[in-house]
Amino acid sequence: MSEPVNVWDYEALAAERLEAGAHGYYAGGAGDELTLGENVEAYRRWQLRPRLLVDVAGCSTATTVLGHDVSMPLLVAPVAFQRVAHPDGEVGMARAAKEVGTIMCLSTIATTPPAEVAATGAPRWFQLYVFRDEGVTRDLIAQARDNGFTALLLTVDAPVRGNRERDLRTGFAIPDGVHVASMGRGGVTPKEVFDMVTPSLTWRDLERISSEAGLPLLVKGILTAEDALLSVEHGAAGIVVSNHGGRQLDGVSATIDALPEVVEAVAGRIEVLVDGGIRRGTDVVKALALGAQAVLAGRAPLWGLTVDGEAGARRVLELLREEILTALQLIGATSPSDVTRTHIQRARAQ
């Protein structure tokens, strides 16, 4: 293939590079993978409504997320086990995020400890899974706080692991030489890691975790207005509308379709982000038009990391930033905050 020019090209190259177990783990979803496919497909059912003859010469993709300046409304989503994709792992991903000017979200089940990611100087948030062992959770929160992570993403859509059949078929396990930092060892399966996560987390735990950490907390995995309201009531600083990239409950709606009801319920009280299926700058602009402050991308930068380590992750993030800039200019917006509900409509039935 000639030089990859978009996320799809990186995805195809990554599929060639990865062995079957790792590829199935990264690319796959739960059950029949209905939601996995929907996340991408649903963006095609929304269409942009461009406004023309606007001076877009000075257009910028820069914005803020929870008060942090970012160069674009796209953050790096927490994705587990990145050193399995490429030896640069989470450090390479963090450096790429830093160079491009956005936030790196580090997974609880990363293959690099928080201190090493902090040493890159990348702006960083920490994704938290709450473990059955309270001591482990307390230690993770302390590591996040002490290493300058500025927010917690509490993932709430994974009280148990989704039914990932590709992993059953391949028997995917983290290779021996790769350590899961929060477990201090390698040679484990994703299922064994998940068995350590508590299935008993409830809304009551939210405020406790946030105040224990002394960090703003975003609830990651919300899909309904009801849970959006509870997030606000329980002191969340933000919401990530997410279905875990189609890897948890199969058969839930695409996140872009769940976004409007969450935005309406929240009514501007806290920031709403969305992830799942972001492959194009136009996807990002559609999410902004439906009320998201920003998006997170999981697989897209991961494919870049797989193909060319830090440089590949950076290139994917740069490509997305260029695409966001072009899309903003072509809809007649000069910044992400210019994008409104009037810039989008449901595709007319065929």
Ligand X SMILES: Cc1cc2nc3c(=O)[nH]c(=O)nc-3n(C[C@H](O)[C@H](O)[C@H](O)COP(=O)(O)O)c2cc1C
The set of catalytic residues is 244
Does position 74 interact with ligand X (CB under 6 A)? The reply is no
Q: What are phi and psi of 135, to 5 degrees?
A: -65, -40
* Joined tokens for residue 69: 């300046």
Footprint of ligand X on residues 102-141 (CB under 6 A)? 107, 109, 127
Residue whose CB is less far from ligand X, 95 or 166: 166
149 touches ligand X by CB under 6 A: no
What the block records as the tokens of 111 is 């293959």
CA–CA distance from 32 to each of 29, 44, 51 (Å)?
8, 21, 40
- Tell me if 206 sits within 8 A of 234, measured CB to CB: yes
Q: Does 35 bind ligand X (CB under 6 A)?
A: no
Region from 53-61, 78-86, 205-213, 285-293 binding ligand X, contact rule CB under 6 A: 78-86
Rule CB under 6 A: is residue 77 a binding residue for ligand X? Answer: yes
- Tell me which of 35, 102, 143, 242 binds ligand X, using CB under 6 A: 242
Distance of CA 259 to the CA centre of its chain: 15
CA atoms within 13 A on the CB side of 330: 11
The verdict on 244 binding ligand X (CB under 6 A) reads yes
Minimum CB separation from ligand X for residue 214, in Å?
21
Return the structure tokens found at 182.
Answer: 């929060």
Nearest distance, CB of residue 55 and ligand X, angstroms: 33
H-only helix segments in 133-245: 134-146, 165-170, 190-194, 204-213, 225-233
CB of 69 to ligand X, least distance (A): 22
* Cβ 129 to ligand X shortest distance, Å: 7
- Is 108 or 120 the residue whose CB approaches ligand X more closely? 108
**C-alpha to C-alpha distance for 68 and 71, rounded to whole angstroms:** 10
Residues forming contacts to ligand X in the complex (CB under 6 A) are 25-26, 39, 77-80, 107, 109, 127, 155, 220, 242, 244-245, 247, 275-278, 297-300
